[in-house]
Amino acid sequence: MCSVMEVCHLKTGRWEQKPTTGNPPLGFVGYAAAAIGREIFYFGGLCGHDGCSHNSLYSFNVDTFNWKELSPTTFRHGPMMKAYCDMIAIKVNGEDYLVVIGGTGPSSNNKPKQPKTNEIHFYKLSTGGTGGSAFDIWIFDIINKSWKEL
């Protein structure tokens, strides 16, 4: 990611560069993205040195062009550090969720060690969320910006 976004004006087909504020995500290739309302959410990705994967979660507001880190990269909590996963936005009973599916990453950087694929994680944006692979469930608290394993 970078501190400039490329914006296409659909009516004219004209592109322009717009500067952003805040700190953009570390992963610049292989990240997952999904949009809810006026925000685009970014998860994971590779930063380009030594096969370094991330498990950070960021939001980008399309009105203010501001980046916001919701959960930092760490091997101590949350989904494994990974890239090339998918993320979709869903609504269940009126509540917004982000669902992270699959991906690959260096499981040696994750404690406890986790498999490289077949993970599904859910993030409930308003009050936290649930998620997990076959053996764990994680909640992401948007307000406190923290993960909790159930």
Is the Cβ–Cβ distance between 71 and 145 less than 8 Å?
Answer: yes
Name the residue ranges covered by the structural domains of the chain.
Answer: 23-149
Q: What are phi and psi of 108, to 5 degrees?
A: -70, -20
pLDDT at 147: 58
Share of the chain above pLDDT 90, in %: 28
pLDDT (tens digit per residue) in 23-60: 998 767 889 899 989 999 998 888 877 768 888 899 99
Where residue 132 falls among pLDDT bands split at 50, 70, 90?
very low
* Residue 131 reports pLDDT greater than 50: no
Whole-prediction pTM: 0.74
